[in-house]
Chains A and B, each alone.
Chain A
């Protein structure tokens, strides 16, 4: 009974996410709207952690299992990748990832320093 109740909440909030995402004037993923709605409802204490705990834990722990099927469809898409594009695809991916890491680190560091300075404590 408890699990079915939890799944009902998750499914209903997810559906509400799809509904509200559809109202926006631009394309917006329903699942992300559902995530934002659930977050909002938890912040407002409409939904409490214990209302969804075990089911959410299950989804979060084993989410990776749901990504296997989209990966396997690669079989049919290998035609899109010749050796040259694959090479570019991979190095751009890695280069961009490292740039993202460094840019994020630098901006967080700078923000923390500015916040410390303006609040006047430490250093």
Chain B
């Protein structure tokens, strides 16, 4: 039995099965809380806890899937290239917005964490929270944060912005689709982009571009600050 559980296919099968369930649930329940990845992670954790199967056994196959984050990150270039004309047309506002956003994100985490005396490793895990998960995981390693906490921070960020954005948009009278799209993409990455697509095509496309630029801006800003 032990040998069977340490087979690479166990971790891969469990992850993909729970992800399939997550996709199904998110299609039925239209809420940002029913995120396929969140559902799948909770199911995996519950499964491992209930069966008492060690994380190390799960990780044998699981690590194979983690490796695929690398080529997936590289492929983000393709999604941005397909919106090249929009990027060219609005490059200056996008670049400025994303750079300001990335800086505010990093500085606000630093300042607030220091105020409440959050342990260093938690602060470092929070720093890359506004960029897309693939890039955030890389940055967590760079900052000395804990990757699993960074994923949680990325998810909490994405979901809270999506829930809060309609309120913020009304409160501050943000009507321009370009402004809406860039703000959503910069603050809440892919989860924000799904919301942006609900608001309109322009918002969705701008948000997608903003993910890429914010990722680059966050890397540059953090290199300059640390």
Contact = CB atoms under 8 A, between A and B. Distances in A.
Answer yes or no: do A and B interact.
Answer: yes
Interface of A: 7, 10-11, 13-14, 17, 26-32, 34-39, 42-43, 49, 52-53, 55-57, 59-60, 62-77, 80-81, 85, 88-90, 92-105, 107-109, 111-112, 115
A108 B62 contact: no
B153 A75 contact: no
A99 B11 CA distance: 38
Contacts of A95: 108, 112
Per DSSP, are chain A's interface residues mostly helix, strand or loop, or mixed?
helix
B204 interface: no
Interface of B: 11, 15-16, 18-19, 35-37, 40-41, 44-45, 48-49, 55, 58-59, 62-63, 65-66, 68-82, 84, 92-94, 96-98, 100-101, 104-105, 108-109, 112-113, 116, 118-119, 121-122, 126, 129-130, 133-135, 137-139, 141-142, 146-149, 151-153, 155-157, 160-161, 164-165, 168, 172, 174, 176, 178-180, 182-184, 186-188, 190, 210, 212, 215-216, 219, 223
Nearest to B82: A49
Contacts, number: 299
Contact of B146 (A69, A80, A90): A80
